[in-house]
Amino acid sequence: MPQETGASVKLNLEGLLCPIPVVRVSQAMKDLPVNGVLEATATDPGVLTDIPAWVKSTGNELLSMEKKDKVITFTIRKAK
Amino acid sequence: MQNRDGVTIVVFSGDMDKVIAAFNIAVGAAASGKETTMFFTFWGIKAIQKGNLTGKSFFGRMMGLLNRGGINRIGPSRFNFGGIGRWMFKQMMKAHNVTPLEELRKMAVDLGVKLVPCQMSMEVMEIRREDLIDEVAEPAGVATMLEAAGRSFATLFI
């Protein structure tokens, strides 16, 4: 279960492969208020292209995405 | 102007690999907020069968035996080798932490993907509504599929 910290939520997607990261992100975003921020970590390299694509098709905003060693960390702001 | 924001997938194949691809796309589409409909026709029906033996006539029962449905019974389109390939694929998917097909199907249902069986295929192959999983919608025909396609920006035939 995602832990809520104010208007933001954290999600651990490490070890999960396509299409699960996108599914978990979409579920977590549903519970967030508008302008809420989701921060997630993942290890599937597919996330690097899939999350920007998901954000684009759902009209949300990707605030950051970086890869350190094998762990990818990204933040998304709920736009609507 | 009609809203064309959905995804329609015709699942014709009953091969494990192709069915995985179909459910994967459906789950991704639903998670992206798209109204997603999957039509199961011909061999694709196997992916939404409970897995019991089917058929009434001699040919129907023979088909039910040789072409038995059930999502865990279907094998890959290549390298199946009488079931060994299916086992191998499942092992490899497990090793790489890929979601098993049955779980993927459940996920699709939970995300609101509509699973529609093809009435004609059911008639021909003598598959009854009771032979299909409870989660499927009412069996329908090509007009229903085309109506969904009319509301979709992508229609796939797998």
What's the number of domains chain B is made of?
Answer: 1
ipTM of the assembly? 0.77
What's the number of domains chain A is made of?
Answer: 1
In a domain, B37, yes or no: yes
Percentage of chain B with pLDDT > 90?
93
**B149 class by beta-carbon count within 10 Å (0-12 exposed, 13-18 middle, 19+ buried):** buried
Helices B16-31 and B84-95, interaxial angle, to 10°? 40
Q: What is the mean pLDDT of chain B?
A: 95
Percentage of chain A with pLDDT > 70?
92
Q: Do A26 and B27 touch (CB under 8 A)?
A: no
CATH of the domain at B13: 3.40.1260.10
A22 reaches B (C-beta below 8 A): yes
Going by pLDDT thresholds of 50, 70 and 90, the confidence category of residue B141 is very high
In a domain, B41, yes or no: yes
pLDDT of A9 > 60? The answer is yes
In a domain, B1, yes or no: no
Predicted confidence (pLDDT) per residue in B123-137, tens digit: 999 999 999 999 999
> A62, A35, A36, A34: which is closest to A50 by C-alpha?
A62
The two beta strands, A37-42 and A71-77, are: antiparallel
In a domain, B72, yes or no: yes
Average confidence (pLDDT) over A10-28: 95
Q: Which residue from B minimizes the CA distance to A20?
A: B99
CATH of the domain at A61: 3.30.110.40
In a domain, B93, yes or no: yes
B31 reaches A (C-beta below 8 A): yes
Helices (H), B46-128: 58-66, 84-95, 101-110, 119-124
Domain enclosing residue A66, as ranges: 3-77
Domain enclosing residue B15, as ranges: 6-157
Q: Which of A4, A12, A17, A18 is catalytic?
A: A18
Q: Known catalytic residue: A65?
A: no
One-character DSSP codes across A29-77 = HHTSPTT-EEEEEE--TTHHHHHHHHHHHHT-EEEEEEEETTEEEEEEE
Q: Do B24 and A19 touch (CB under 8 A)?
A: yes
B2 reaches A (C-beta below 8 A): no
